Amino acid sequence: MTDAAEGAKRPLIEGAASRRPTGLLLVAIPVFLVGWLVIWPIINAIGRTLWRPDASGTMGFDLSSYVFFFSDQYSINNLTITLWTTLMCAILLLVICLPIALYLRFSHGRLPAYVQALAIFPMFVPSIILAYAFIRVLGPNGMVDILLNSVGLPKIRTPYLTPWGPVIGLVWDNIPLTVLILLSGLGNVANHAIEAARDVGANRLQVFWHIILPRISNSLLVAISFAVLGIFSSFTLPYLLGPAAPEMMGPFMNRTFREVNDPLNAITQAVITFGFCIAFGLFYVRSVARNQGQ
Amino acid sequence: MKRRDFMISAAGGVAGLALLPRMSFAAEGVIDWYTSSDSNILDFWTNTVKPAFEAANPGVSINLVDAGDGAGIIAIGERAIAAKQQGADPQADFFESGDALLPSGAIEAGVYANIAEAGLTNYSKVNPLAIQSDYSLPYRGSQVLLAYDSTKLSAADAPKNWDELVAWIKANPGQFVYNRPDKGGSGGNFVRRAIHQANGLDPAAFTVDNYTEEFGNEALGKAWAILSDIAPSLYDGGAYSSGNTQSIQLLAQGVVTMAPVWSDQVLQAIDQGVLPAETGLVQLQDLALAGGFTRSIVIENGVNRDAALKLADFILSEEIQSAILTELGGFPGVSWDYVSAELRERFADIVPLTIPTFPGGAWDGAINDGWYRNVAPNVDRNA
């Protein structure tokens, strides 16, 4: 940032008071939209689930819908499967994306360009298409089964309609964002730092552990919190690929609202989901704030 | 471009966008038509009904709009109520599929036309079993059937009643799948058939307003026991597909041998080669799986009310009702007596003698919630 500001003919950040209204105006629209479409509904939802009329019609403080959620084994199971799916996806994303990002950062030539294109590809595939492709490939009697069968091997135990279905779909869907964020973080790792470490005899693992990892810990956190936020409240893939029960919070909320006609419990589920997401979001905000402070 | 010019043109653009929706008025002679049905219905209207109607009525055309889902139709109904109150134009004339009771108060507000008293020449042909309200017109129906792979199960051995079906499912574990009851009517009506089975095969026992928690728990609880009993013998030891199409896909991939399907969807799937020609269809003879009619609504305060009523009359004509059978694979909204004998013969398989239906209202929520809580999770699939 500082380099760019010094290099520019005109400072990128101007102190002149005359510019300030334009800047504020530009921020005002997104801030207003976030306030109107995000913050207000959240406050409204929390208010509506906590402060509502009881049986006799008098308004009052009422925690019963939350008590019901946390005492209802079915709801707890849904929350648990959501946390499990999110955790599994986060672990798998790290295991898959970190090596890809490292490879892309430290190699040159034509092949890495193809690998990168391939890694970014899922970004351009709508998740509904992905879900149907998944069913055709990994589903029962799908392409994998046909290939295995043609060489005389037994069929796979298909992940379709099991908790692993959404995990595989969501991981594939989130690879591009994770790779891109990790790659940008790896840009912070200077080549000379690695060369210096190699000169004093560090092996690959030591370089990774002592030089690279500390520098990208922030990116790791950002990548994981982004992925986790999206996965926790995902809808399409768990809906199409997951089991009927337990279901993830996204389909569960939608079903409670539309199919069971129970807005109160749907909003309660939404507030609880939001509570978990805000915890993940705080990781992200803290990491960004720490980054800005440097 | 200078910044000021940019700001001015941007502001102009924004103002233009804000004005745009206000500037579209419903045109005289163009029927604004909305549907919440699947794309096969929209295709049917685009390719069959619209050209035929426009040819028969020069000067009138239909503007076909997909409203998305039931909630989309209700929103347009609410807009019509608001327009009525302000004496404005609702910009809607015809709902292909709707419930006259929704949005609540639409009939009282005078937004929906009374079709029974509108003097339609074909109204007397409508199947009396299907009429639910004077304000909606049942013009097509479809029913849930069992589709099976006739290479694995001969037509002679196909189950003809519920007990045979259960016996077959248990004797052939993993070969039957039905979808989650809230995600599509084929599984939904299979579940409702189980509810009928558990309650003396009497569809009249359930009405739109007789749901009470006590009766619901008792009536539905017996059905959950039946469904939980067959769950371990279903596909993958108790997995449920997430929609009508996914059930057909599992059948098409040869994963299961039998699944409940909508009559219109399965006939189209066979026609398009999604399902092989060897797909067999069978209806339970002790009590058919439930089905339903799609009901059209005419907007009373629409600019083209009279043309829309003409359209309502037109879709009851023999031409369109026959096309519903031959092209859509649905069954007609008119009584079977008004369908040509040749077609009656050809579609004998799906001609329902009775059309059991299951009421909506509070029952829907109770079934959707109860099934997920009591049937879906019962099986430990890792065991």
What ipTM describes this predicted complex?
0.74
Task: Compute the nearest-CA separation of B121 from chain A (Å).
Answer: 38
> Which residue is closest to B367 within chain A, CA to CA?
A260
Q: What is the pTM of this model?
A: 0.75
Residue B213 counted as domain residue:
yes
A260 vs B242: CB contact, 8 Å cut-off?
A: no
B87: left (phi over 0), alpha (psi -120 to 50) or beta: left
Check CB contact under 8 Å for A161 and B255. no
Q: What CATH number does the domain containing B40 carry?
A: 3.40.190.10
Does B168 share its domain with B208?
Answer: yes
Q: Same domain for B148 and B187?
A: yes
Residue B218 lies inside a defined structural domain of this protein: yes
Structural domain span for residue B369: 142-291+357-374
Inter-chain contact B240–A162, Cβ cutoff 8 Å? no
pLDDT digits (tens, 9 = 90+) for A33-57: 999 998 898 998 898 888 888 777 7
Considering the domain architecture, whether residues B276 and B210 belong to the same structural domain is answered as yes
Instruction: Report the alpha-carbon distance of residue A100 to residue A94 in Å, rounded.
Output: 10
Give the mutation candidate from A259, A264, A265 for the B interface (greatest B CB count, under 10 A). A259
Q: How far is A96 from chain B (nearest CA, A)?
A: 26
Residues B190 and B131 in one domain: no
Task: Give the largest CA-CA distance in chain A.
Answer: 78
Q: How far apart are CA A178 and CA A90, in angstroms?
A: 10
Tell me if B253 and A139 make a contact (CB, 8 A cut-off).
yes
Q: Are residues B311 and B338 in the same domain?
A: yes
Quote the minimal CA–CA distance from B251 to chain A in Å. 11
Residues B58 and B123 in one domain: yes
In this structure, are B268 and B156 located in the same domain? yes
* B283 token code pair: 């209806």
pLDDT in tens, B155-165: 888 898 999 99
Residues B265 and B361 in one domain: yes
Mutate to test the interface with B, among A261, A265, A269 (most CBs of B within 10 A): A261
- B163 and B253 inside one domain: yes
Same domain assignment for residues B221 and B209: yes
User: CATH class for domain A73-293?
Assistant: mainly alpha
- The per-residue pLDDT string of chain B (383 residues; one tens digit each, 9 = 90 and over) reads 455 555 555 555 555 444 444 445 567 789 999 998 877 889 999 999 999 999 999 989 999 999 877 778 888 988 899 998 888 888 999 999 888 877 878 888 889 999 988 888 999 999 887 887 889 999 998 888 899 999 999 888 889 899 999 999 999 999 999 999 888 889 999 999 999 999 988 888 888 778 888 999 999 999 999 999 999 999 988 889 988 888 998 999 889 999 999 888 888 888 888 899 889 888 888 888 888 788 999 999 988 999 999 999 999 998 899 888 888 878 888 888 888 888 887 776 666 667 787 877 778 888 988 999 889 885 444 43
Residue A142 contacts B, CB cutoff 8 Å: yes
Q: Tell whether B261 and B231 lie within a shared domain.
A: yes
**Is B381 a domain residue?**
no
Nearest CB to B368 within list A139, A239, A260 = A260
